[in-house]
A = this chain, B = another copy of it.
Amino acid sequence: MYLVKIYVTYKQSILDPKGEAVNDALHRLGYTNVENVELGKYFEIKLHADDRPVAAEVDEMCDRLLANVNMETYRYEITEMEAL
């Protein structure tokens, strides 16, 4: 069993209105030392080992479903759960 942590964020060139909104809200609450906020998605996926490498499967899942590769980038960490 593997635990995969996937982080999906907007590409640098793409506007992030939700991140802007959080940035403004933090300023209004008095956290004026905040410079920039980016908001992304975070997936924790548990999966069984297959006959194919886990990383290849995760790449494919991200490209097909979890990230919009036109606007978003992703990175991930794979951990064997016995090792946790």
Residues of A within 8 A of B (CB): 1, 7-9, 19, 22, 25-26, 29, 31, 33-50, 57, 61, 64-66
A29/B66 in contact, CB under 8 A: no
Residues of B with C-beta under 8 A to A41:
39-42
Give CA–CA (A50, B62) in the complex, Å.
Answer: 38
One complex includes copies of this chain to the number of: 2
Known: A26-B61, A61-B26, A65-B26. A33 touches B45 (CB 8 A): no
Contacts of A29 in B (CB 8 A): 61, 64-65
Q: Does the CB pair B48–A35 fall under 8 Å? A: yes
A21 to chain B, nearest CB (A): 11
A44 with B33: CB separation less than 8 A: no
A54 closest partner in B (C-beta) = B33
